[in-house]
């Protein structure tokens, strides 16, 4: 199968009628891909990231791409970036900084310019180089599978070797710009490109194709592991109202640390030893990722998405049914109910009332305890509430922030109705 057929098959999968954004540097790979997309009559625009790191050479790259687009009536977008400033601010390498800047820009273009996919010119040799880079860094299996498509980025030349690209450029008289830094050995990728890959190609003339086959086998292995982990996660992770519950003993059975890694990695927990340490920790220990919390609660782990809780109280100036933050139904009665001890004395409540989460030092006198005062934190502990349940249990207070009670659990003794009550109030917590 020639290079054009390979590219056609890739785009056919994503849709020949799509609107694509080609990331184009002006180098041989993106210039060949530009030519192939023209030949296939695809609808596309071009984005050229101008980093200005090579002075006049960078300016000539930009002029080359701009002219090529103008001659072929292809929409062209360019942007200049200050890489050194971004490097200093983020504390990362030049290569990583340039990558972050351009992909953030590409993402904005996809969103605001109505392109369906970003197209990059990564090819088979890029995947081979990435394999060896990641191999030297002690990566896991997924780091050895090369460069592939993702949700919004497609790489139609992923199965095309650099030699095929060079031959196509030569046969079709395609002009392109050479990046002078490609000849340097300063970067690890360049050293692999100049020394390791040629040596392997010399050992085996079919090296590129054999390596491509190996990458495909690795991808299938990753898919197999992924299917197993999904099945395992569906069995072990029990979804409850606002969190996921996982039995500690079921995780301890998984002796392979990789199983722990794969189970929790989608939630941002990328260090299995931290999860294993949590499994053996004391009650209420917790670790956090960027977006999730993982909490030890007796014989279970509780996984919950982080949320920004408002410090503001929910204030209510009169008796009406409440829908948020919890659902409460109020019923006033003017005649003595059968079980008046389960009702509140309406006239003892000072308005406005409010709902809030527990604060340090909160105390109240739980009904049925002979008027004894108790810290809310101790009351929660006695009920064996989990950390998440404690954080999501709302307290009803009067205008002086005196605790009326904890809806659904217990009312304060001083607000309970008695035989002297004139207006009885029933408060029912729904859901």
What would the DSSP string read from start to end of 273-310? HHHHHHHTS-TT-EEE-SSEEEEEETTEEEEEE-----
Residue from 337, 405, 324, 412 nearest 368 by CA? 412
Residue with tokens 């005196």: 402
* Residues 307, 357: Cα–Cα separation, whole Å: 14
Q: Would you say how long the chain is, in residues?
A: 431
Bridge-based pairing of strands 153-154 and 117-119 is: parallel
* Residues 366, 372: Cα–Cα separation, whole Å: 7
Q: Which long-range contacts (CB under 8 A, 24 or more apart) does 96-100 make?
A: 98/49, 98/51, 98/53
The secondary structure of residue 349, as a DSSP letter, is P
Q: Which residues sit in the known binding site for ATP?
A: 25-30
Q: Which residues sit in the known binding site?
A: 25-30
* C-beta separation of 146 from 215 below 8 A: yes
């Amino acid at each position: 199968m020639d290079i054009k057929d390979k590219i056609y098959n890739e785009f056919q999968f994503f849709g020949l009628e799509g609107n694509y954004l080609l990331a184009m540097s002006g180098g041989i790979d993106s210039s060949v891909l530009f030519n192939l997309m023209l030949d296939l009559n695809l609808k596309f625009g071009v984005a050229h990231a101008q980093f200005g790191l090579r002075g006049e050479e960078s300016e000539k790259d930009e002029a080359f791409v701009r002219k090529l687009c103008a001659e072929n009536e292809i929409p062209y977008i360019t942007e200049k970036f200050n890489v050194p400033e971004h490097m200093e601010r983020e504390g990362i390498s030049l290569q990583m900084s340039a990558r972050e800047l351009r992909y953030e820009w590409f993402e904005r273009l996809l969103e605001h310019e109505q392109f369906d996919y970003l197209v990059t010119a990564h090819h088979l040799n890029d995947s081979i180089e990435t394999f060896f880079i990641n191999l030297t860094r002690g990566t896991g299996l997924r780091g050895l599978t090369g460069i592939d498509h993702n949700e919004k980025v497609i790489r139609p030349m992923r199965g095309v070797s650099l030699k095929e690209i060079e031959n196509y450029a030569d046969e079709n008289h395609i002009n392109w710009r050479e990046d002078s830094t490609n000849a340097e050995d300063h970067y690890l990728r360049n050293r692999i490109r100049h020394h390791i890959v040629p040596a392997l190609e010399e050992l085996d003339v079919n090296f590129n194709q054999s390596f491509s086959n190996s990458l495909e086998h690795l991808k299938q292995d990753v898919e197999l592991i992924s299917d197993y982990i999904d099945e395992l996660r569906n069995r072990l992770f029990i979804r409850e109202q606002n969190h996921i519950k996982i039995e500690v003993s079921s995780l301890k059975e998984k002796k392979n640390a990789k199983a722990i890694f794969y189970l929790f990695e989608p939630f941002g927990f990328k260090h299995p030893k931290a999860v294993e340490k949590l499994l053996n920790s004391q009650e209420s220990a917790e670790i956090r990722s960027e977006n999730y919390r993982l909490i030890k609660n007796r014989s279970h782990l509780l996984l919950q998405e982080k949320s920004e809780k408002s410090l503001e109280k929910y204030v209510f100036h009169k008796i009406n049914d409440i829908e948020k933050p919890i659902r409460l139904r109020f019923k006033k009665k003017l005649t003595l109910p059968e079980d008046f001890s389960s009702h509140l004395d309406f006239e003892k409540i000072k308005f406005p009332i409010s709902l809030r989460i527990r604060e340090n030092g909160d105390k109240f006198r739980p009904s049925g305890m002979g008027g004894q005062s108790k810290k809310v934190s101790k009351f929660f502990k006695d009920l064996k509430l989990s950390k998440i349940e404690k954080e999501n249990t709302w307290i009803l207070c009067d205008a002086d922030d005196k605790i009326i009670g904890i809806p659904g659990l217990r009312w304060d003794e001083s607000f309970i109705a008695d035989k002297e009550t004139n207006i009885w109030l029933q408060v029912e917590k729904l859901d």
